Structure 1
């Protein structure tokens, strides 16, 4: 709140550890943007029982920095090669980005996406399945949604509570994990769709390979918006399940459905064309994605403690 500063008793209780956890979280959030209160809290911590320990830690760190590291190298040995400072900075930044990207890059999820893409191509060319492209287009929009569920939260990251409550946590961390998921899934699935042959002669033409990109982005952003209310895993389950239900229900209940596989595939192609093909559906998905992005920006504070309890 603008113009508000933490009372002295609140600062004192925070410094001695007697402040309730929820109040401590609120105060820590305030300290991120209030220098005077941060200085008061720092002074109170140094003046309390922890001050002695903090002073000892500070002295030990300064001693370790100032003292030259022991070496056993001979004077005739060549000096170790060091990378230039810009190269070290780029490498360190890249390492931090890869670590922050989470299980989307470090775990098995990326391999699962590769298996989906390769499996669709193998099904089309090795198994002779004429409906490989419609099946891939039906699943592709929920693959990023599933990736978000597997990349964010206590179940995905052992240090989630610590990372999510840091200044780099909250919506920023969630968006970074989502960007990593999209960077892995969008190119792989789009290339796989381009490699798949067109539908068989007895089937209607399937939508183009890239028509699922806007729907996939909109569904992913919708799951992020819903995460601010019900949590990440529940939100992704609702959005992903809702998409599959909206796609499968008309196919299974249509009056033109036949008992053959080709009838199912033909109806699936028609349903995908209804959702993907044309300027109106794509404009609708783009509008939905823009609306979800605005809602994310408006409710960004709701993600500060997401899945930390």
Structure 2
């Protein structure tokens, strides 16, 4: 039951097209749950010049449907044409219903997004399983530092593949729905985090430590980088934002290691310890996550236009 209803002024502005897009999307979302307001908006739209256009479109669609519908053959055992119409009438078949089990699965997969449905999920499984196999099957004791170096950018890559025409062939339809924008981006980001965080943390716990930070030390940095990517996306778009944050992390971690004179794994472990170990480092990542979340909330209206061009 709704406690709020659209005012007459809001309905009138929506009908004549003068309502700003964010307010119009909010009203459309309300109309999904409020039949009274939907009736009022429908009457207001019919009172404008749009009614003639809608009637013309409706008539053209119905004419096309009628012309394309194949003629029904007479039913087996139907009475001859001379019989009364009542005796020739056949019982109507029940309307088709979408299978209840399938519709829920379809809606869940649509909400979770392309990253969980596509190649990103097998890639995460390959990284986790490959690190464990390399450590225990290949005898490589330094697998944990390399996994911890890659783990924070895995959810960032998943976010980049979750929203936009480059990743979703149905993006134009998705972007036109009232649920599009920040709400859908956060839903798909949560799905990416729910898969990558426990999977990579479990894989790290199965690896030898060899002086590297513990397996859960990357969680706050991964969350902070993901939120920073979303906050930056409000300014430069999702792909560019994830490229900046993910690339910055990899350059900060791997850049000094590749130029160090010592062993790569040892230098990587020392570099990760300075970034991940200890209360000051983790506190800094927590502060970065909170700041990114605040900036994301401030940039929320920008997500109505995200990846629409």
Q: TM-score range by the shorter chain?
A: 0.7 to 0.9
Any gaps of 5 or more consecutive residues in structure 2? Answer: 1-6, 32-36, 66-90
The 1:4–1:131 alpha-carbon spacing in structure 2 relative to 1, beyond 3 Å, is farther
Residue-pair matches, total: 267
2:271 counterpart SS class? helix
Matched, 1:274 2:270: no
> Please, which of 224, 236, 250 is the counterpart of residue 218 of structure 1?
224
Deviates more, 1:174-183 or 1:47-56: 47-56
1:126: Cα distance to partner?
Answer: 2.0
Matches within 5 A, 1:89-238: 92-199=103-210, 205-238=211-244
> Please, which of 69, 85, 93 is the counterpart of residue 69 of structure 1?
93
The 1:157–1:43 alpha-carbon spacing in structure 2 relative to 1, beyond 3 Å, is farther
Report the TM-score when normalising by structure 2.
0.75
Largest Rg, 1 or 2: 2
Alignment match, 1:288 = 288
Any gaps of 5 or more consecutive residues in structure 1? Answer: 61-66, 72-81, 200-204
Using the alignment, how far apart are the partners of 2:94 and 2:11 within structure 1? 47
2:180 counterpart SS class? coil
1:169 counterpart SS class? coil
Using the alignment, how far apart are the partners of 1:103 and 1:46 within structure 2? 37
1:102: Cα distance to partner?
Answer: 1.2
Contact kept? 1:117, 1:188, Cα under 8 Å: yes
Deviates more, 1:271-280 or 1:121-130: 121-130
1:265: Cα distance to partner?
Answer: 1.2
Using the alignment, how far apart are the partners of 2:227 and 2:108 within structure 1? 21
1:139-198 CA-partner distances (Å, limit 9, x unpaired):
000000011111211011111122123111000111111111111111111111011122
Using the alignment, how far apart are the partners of 1:211 and 1:27 within structure 2? 42
The 1:54–1:185 alpha-carbon spacing in structure 2 relative to 1, beyond 3 Å, is same
Report the TM-score when normalising by structure 1.
0.75
The 1:52–1:290 alpha-carbon spacing in structure 2 relative to 1, beyond 3 Å, is same
Using the alignment, how far apart are the partners of 1:148 and 1:38 within structure 2? 38
Structure 1 outlier segments of 4+, above 3 Å: 2-8, 23-39, 52-58, 90-95
Using the alignment, how far apart are the partners of 1:235 and 1:273 within structure 2? 26
1:227-254 CA-partner distances (Å, limit 9, x unpaired):
111111111001100000111233244x
1:56: Cα distance to partner?
Answer: 8.7
